[in-house]
Structure 1
Amino acid sequence: MVRAVVIGDARTRILDAAEELFAGRGFEATPTEIIAKLAKVRDDLIFDYFPRKIDLLVALVDERTHVEEDREVDAVPGDLRGTLCRLARGLPLRASPAMRRILFREADTHGSVKERLTRLNGELVRRARFALGLAMPGARGDAARLEVAAATFAAILLYQENLCQLTGHQIDPEAVAELIAHSLV
């Protein structure tokens, strides 16, 4: 019983170390020996859990990035800004800033990472489109504008960590909600 806790703890430490190092250095530039050192495990223990280094990246992305299952949307007809603000505050996106950096950095070179990023983005767009549709019941005929608004809002939510790195300041989802709301009325 104690052994299982120690093993699980080692795997978690390996994933924690990989997340930190891949976010800072990138996947290709991070040797497994450095991951093991940061995780305080033997070098070969990583391969007991992850037969290849790429398996470590895949497990990290699969386990540490997701959008939780559907939750109710708090949409009020006519209140676009409020609906988007509530969506942003209540959005169950689970991906640390480090994981978001990993997703964007590695999506170009690793198909499984790109697939995960695509699924996350798609789910965020779907939820934003649904919320906007509820808040604008008469806008069903203007599907193209709703799609663009939903995609823009989802991009800010998903990409905000990268935008912060580029611009040096946080992008306020509520300010974006206000801009989108004004563009739709």
Structure 2
Amino acid sequence: MSDSRTRILDAAEELFAETGYDGTSTARIAEVAEVPKGLVFHYFPQKMDVLLTLVDERTAIEDLTEFEHPAQAPDSDADPAGALRRVAARLPLRASPRMRRILFREADTHRSVRERLGRLNRELVRLASRALEAALPGSRGDTARLEIAAATFATVLLYHENLYHLTGDRIDPDAVADLLTQALT
């Protein structure tokens, strides 16, 4: 990736987090990135492309292929709470408080960001479900309960990120993982 492109995205992340997408001009992004304004448009034809690229590139979930094929998971006999903790530890929103702020602020007004948040939720549910299947091999016939537990866990993780952004309060995902898995076992 180009150094200039990275500087543009870094500047946009900083500015969108501070003043919001609508409150940030492309001229200001170029100024903070220390690049000509035309270079912003070279990489991103419209300002919305900057936002969408930020959201897509900086909210991708880390590689969790260990959960893709539950029977092949490295810790398939591990405790289910530990499996959920591994999913929570890789939640991308923890990596950047700015991106978390952008996601939850801009989801209200920009459909594309709201859709990305929905995809993120579905990814988390899928991965949490796979993690639980791997850790609870005898429960494969109980798909509905695993899906509900996975959806609950994903909801709590995303709610926690939003709550932390708004108030600074924290929810302990480990405690939630313990509570959910106690109900499953």
With the length of structure 1 as denominator, give the TM-score of the two structures.
Answer: 0.81
Q: 1:13 aligns with which of 7, 29, 51?
A: 7
Q: Which residue of 2 aligns with 1:105?
A: 105
Conserved 8 A contact 1:67-1:93:
yes
How many positions carry a matched residue from both structures? Answer: 178
| Deviates most, 134-143 or 10-19 | 134-143
Other structure's SS at 1:27 match: coil
Given that 1:75 and 1:131 are in contact with CA atoms closer than 8 Å, whether structure 2 keeps it comes out as no
Asked if the contact 1:21/1:35 (under 8 Å) is kept, the reply is: yes
Q: State, as a whole percentage, how many aligned pairs show the same letter.
A: 59
* Distance in 1 of aligned mates of 2:111 and 2:102: 13
State which drifts further: 40-49 or 25-34: 40-49
Give 5+ residue unaligned stretches, structure 1.
none
Is 1:38 the counterpart of 2:37 in the alignment? no
- Per the alignment, residue 130 of structure 2 pairs with 130
Contact kept, 8 Å, 1:103 with 1:117, in 2: the verdict is yes
CA drift of 1:78 comes to 7.2
Residues 63-104 of structure 1 deviation map (CA, whole Å, 9 limit, x = unaligned): 222123442145444722222223333x36375222122222
The whole-number CA distance in structure 1 between the counterparts of 2:19 and 2:171 is 24
* Partner in structure 1 of residue 154 of structure 2: 154
Q: How does 1:16-165 map to 2 (within 5 A)?
A: 16-73=10-67, 74-77=74-77, 79-89=79-89, 91=90, 93=92, 96-165=96-165
Higher mean displacement: 33-42 or 126-135: 33-42
SS at match of 1:72: helix
Counterpart contact for 2:20–2:106, Cα < 8 Å: yes
- Over the aligned positions, Cα root-mean-square deviation in angstroms equals 2.5
Query: What amino acid maps onto 1:105 in structure 2?
Result: R
Distance 2:167 2:134 in 1: 33
1:152-173, CA deviations, whole angstroms, 9 ceiling, x for partnerless residues? Answer: 2223334433221234233222
